[in-house]
Structures are given as structure tokens and as C-alpha cells.
Amino acid sequence: MTGKTSIPRRILLDINLLFNDFLFRNPTYARSQTNIEIKNRLFANQAMNYIRQQRHFNTFVADFSVAKMISLMDSIKVKKEMQIEEIQGLVDKNTIVSLGGNLIKNTLEEFKNNALVKDMEDALQFTVSRKHKCTHIVTFNKKDFDPFDVQVVLPSKVRGIL
């Protein structure tokens, strides 16, 4: 009997995707409502819904993204109960990746030694994705990841690529 076994895709979820999805689901917290921001929130929500429904994806979120999410929710005065629910959902539905000293050192080396890398946070996301053998990063900042050897997927393209 012959058959194909599919290898689960390992996907790193960037903070911008997570926060835009949150704002789509909770529009009362969105401070600005430009057309592009509304469109990005919709794409983030559609991408996250698709990823959540697919059982063959392993999703990863860096612990610093969780901390940044908490900080962003604090800055827009999200109620305590909603923050708990949101962060609990991230923890329950994703593998939370701890940075640790070596990942930070590796990020610093990547940032120092790759002249094309302009953003240390992107270098950190890439380093996390490489360590955990992620096949894709879902983010709105596709061009920021051009210097790295990783497949980047825009939220609007998730269904077509993943």
C-alpha cells in the first residue's frame, strides 16, 4: 500500500498578525480606522481562522510576542478578563517558544553580520523560526524578511500557499 504522508507545516505567527486579528475581533479597541488598517485586520482574521481550522499546522509564537501582545493590550486599555482570555488562547493553541540566551546571542550575530537586516525584532523572529524549524512565517512585513532564508506568507495569501 502506497500513500503520501503529509509533514505538518511549522508556522511562526508574527505579532502583527496576532494583534490585527485581535483588533478585528474586538473593533472597539481599534484607535484608527483607515481603509488599509481595516483591510489588514480582516486579512489577519481570515488567515488566523484558516490556520486554526487546519489540523496539519504546528503554530509557534515567540514568548516576546506574547509579552508584546500584553503590552499592546495594556496600551489600549483592554479589560483584564479579555486580556486573560486572549493570552490563554495564545498559550493553548500555539507552541510558545522561549528565547533564552543562545537565541538572543544568535539574533545579535544575525543582526550584526547581515547588512541587509534593518530590524532586530525581525532578526529575532527569524532566529526563533530557524531554531524551531518553521517552514513559514506569517506576517504583514514580507519585505522585512527578504534578507532571511525563510518562506514568508502574507495573511491575504495564507489560503493559497499554506
pLDDT digits 0-9 by tens, 142-159: 888 887 878 999 999 999
Helix (H, G, I), strand (E, B), or coil: what is residue 153? Answer: strand
Dihedrals φ, ψ of 68, to 5°?
-70, -40
CA-CA-CA-CA dihedral for 116, 121, 127, 133, to nearest 10: -110
pTM for this entry = 0.86
Q: Which of 41-50, 64-73, 98-107 has the lowest mean pLDDT?
A: 98-107
* 57-62 and 151-153 strand pairing: unpaired
Residue scoring higher pLDDT (4 or 104): 104
Q: pLDDT over 70 for what percent of the chain?
A: 95
CATH of 9-161, one of 1.10.10.10, 3.30.200.20, 3.40.50.1010, 3.90.550.10: 3.40.50.1010
CA within 13 Å, CB half, 19: 22
Residue 2 has pLDDT above 60, yes or no: no
Of 118, 111, 157, nearest to 137 (Cα)?
157
Structure confidence at residue 86 (pLDDT): 96
Query: What pLDDT was estimated at residue 7?
Result: 57
